[in-house]
Chain A
Amino acid sequence: MSVTSQSESGIKPQKLTSGPGTLLVWLYGVMVVGAVSRSAVQISTEFGHAPLAYSLSALAGIVYGFITYSLVRGGEKARRAALVCCAAELLGVLTVGTWTLADPSAFPDATVWSDYGMGYLFIPVLLPVTAMFWLNKARRAAA
């Protein structure tokens, strides 16, 4: 196995939190706290105002939580599970983002994924793409 000088991932291929993984875990952690606490407050205080939006935020929080857990856990199974969730997340952001632009009346209040995550500096749409690159690289390093 040839290890390039810059590539740390070649040494411990299945440790998903090393190198760029640290940044991913941090950003996913932030998104978990953001989405879960936001939906918890909104669902407990004003659920009737925008049930669809708040439920979607809660769902986003759960997906983020699972990806964070998978990254920290590491290993091939967790890597694949995280990959699937990242794809689901990307699909969710794109669907909800388009939906909020096409039919704003369905969303009296914003979700984490509204307008492709604009309220969160577009992190929701950038994060899954970056994470999928990283997870693929981890597999190639392992092979």
Chain B
Amino acid sequence: MLDALTVATAVAALALAAWCGFAAYRDQPTKDWHFIGMAVVSLLATVQLIVGIVLLARGEKPDQGTTIFVAYLIGAFACIPAAGFMSLAERTRWGSVTVAAGGIVLAVLQVRLYDIWGG
């Protein structure tokens, strides 16, 4: 369950990064559609956070420790919303670049989460 979510979130994050990267390439700020995309990716990260906590509550143990696992879950959860708010404040292509960077950071976090859980 968690592995499938991790892969889905990573793919969605990379797609968002590519999409916002394209917007930046065309010298455009993030638009409503991009924010809907960010919401979808953030929703996946939220579900992942909840599923992760439920798995821990059931007594399952991540390979590399519970603290690190929870820290990465929270980081993944906060990543896209934080970048999204910054792109709201910066209505130029650089807002789009920031969200694209956020997508890449989230994808990296997913790879680490996969390792930490011991997939």
**Interface residues, chain A, CB within 8 Å of chain B?**
8, 17-23, 25-27, 29-30, 33, 37, 41, 45, 121
A26 contacts B75, C-beta separation under 8 Å: no
The 9 closest A-B pairs by CB, nearest first: A22-B90, A26-B98, A22-B94, A19-B94, A23-B98, A22-B98, A23-B97, A37-B71, A22-B86
SS class, residues of chain A in contact with chain B: helix
Across-interface contacts of B105 in A (CB, < 8 A): 30
Question: Is residue B82 within 8 Å, beta carbon to beta carbon, of the partner chain?
Answer: yes
B contact residues vs A (CB 8 Å cutoff): 67-68, 71, 75, 82-83, 86-87, 89-90, 92, 94-95, 97-98, 101-102, 105, 108
Given contacts A33-B75, A41-B67, A41-B71, is CB(A19)–CB(B101) below 8 Å? no
Instruction: Judge whether B82 and A29 touch: CB under 8 Å.
Output: yes
Q: Kindly state the separation between the CA atoms of A25 and B101 in the bound complex, as whole angstroms.
A: 12
Closest Cβ–Cβ distance, residue B33 to chain A (whole Å): 20
Cα distance, A102 to B12, chains bound together (Å)? 40
A21 to B102, CA, bound (A): 15
Chain A residues with CB under 8 A of B92: 8, 19
For B108, what are the chain A residues with a Cβ–Cβ distance below 8 Å?
121
Known contacts A33-B75, A37-B71, A121-B108; A23/B101 CB under 8 A? yes
Task: Please measure, in the bound complex, the distance between the C-alpha atom of A113 and the C-alpha atom of B5, giving whole angstroms.
Answer: 31
Known: A23-B98, A26-B101, A26-B102. A41 touches B89 (CB 8 A): no
Assembled-state Cα–Cα distance A8/B87 (Å) = 16
* 20 sampled A-B residue pairs with Cβ under 8 A: A8-B92, A17-B90, A18-B94, A19-B92, A20-B94, A20-B97, A22-B87, A22-B90, A22-B95, A23-B97, A25-B86, A26-B82, A26-B83, A26-B86, A26-B101, A26-B102, A33-B75, A37-B75, A41-B71, A121-B108
Q: How far is the CB of B56 from chain A (nearest CB, A)?
A: 16
CB contacts (< 8 Å) of B98 on chain A: these are: 22-23, 26
Task: Please name all residues of chain B whose beta carbon is closer than 8 Å to the beta carbon of A121 when the two chains form the complex.
Answer: 108
Given the complex of chains A and B, what is the CA–CA distance between A87 and B28 in angstroms? Answer: 32
A104 CA to B102 CA, complexed, in Å: 32
Nearest Cβ on chain A to B104's Cβ, whole angstroms = 8
How near does chain A come to B117, taking the closest CB pair, in angstroms? Answer: 17
CB closest residue in chain A, given B108: A121
The smallest C-beta distance from A11 to any residue of chain B, in angstroms, reads 12
Task: Give bound CA distance, A30 to B83, whole Å.
Answer: 10
